[in-house]
Structure 1
Amino acid sequence: MSATAQSDAPIYERLIRERGDVAADARRTAEATWREVGRAMDFRLPHTIATRDFSLPSAAM
């Protein structure tokens, strides 16, 4: 279930309203970091870098 989806946990919903969706923010940051590390650590020829998919593995999160 997404942290922003309607749930039966009013305390959690209130925390999201007050503090923001920390879980979603952390996921976005992790994905951006994963892409940045992938670009920084890619030692292949430059013409192949643009075609690489830097998405997170599905089991990572």
Structure 2
Amino acid sequence: MFQDSPIYDRLVAERGDVPALTRREAERVRRELEYVMRPYQSLMSPPAPERPAQPGQGWVPALPPAAPRPY
């Protein structure tokens, strides 16, 4: 990203490559959370439908009755 920038090179030399360290740490945390949450994903996911839904089937809410028009 900033490889040709002397300012960036100097900051990396002084402070370390903070963006790269942050990316690595975020990836480590993501993998750890994925591992920890794996048992709960099966509990939280909805059960699979027995058959695929077809258009036009199922509950459709009724429209409210039309209000009388004032003349």
Would you identify which runs of 4 or more consecutive aligned residues in structure 1 move more than 3 Å?
A: none
1:17 aligns to 2:17 (yes or no): no
Segments of 5+ residues of structure 1 without an aligned counterpart are 46-61
2:11 is equivalent to residue 32 of structure 1? no
Unaligned runs of 5+ in 2: 43-71
Q: TM-score, normalised to structure 2's length? A: 0.51
Structure possessing the higher relative contact order (Cα contacts under 8 Å, 6 or more residues apart) = 1
| Residues 18-56 of structure 1 deviation map (CA, whole Å, 9 limit, x = unaligned) | 0000011001101110011001100278xxxxxxxxxxx
Q: Alignment identity in percent?
A: 49
| Aligned residues: CA RMSD | 1.9
Return the alpha-carbon distance in structure 2 between the equivalents of residues 32 and 11 of structure 1. 29
TM-score, length of structure 1 as denominator length: 0.58
The structure with the larger Rg is 2
**Partner Cα separation in structure 2 for residue 14 and residue 42 of structure 1:** 42
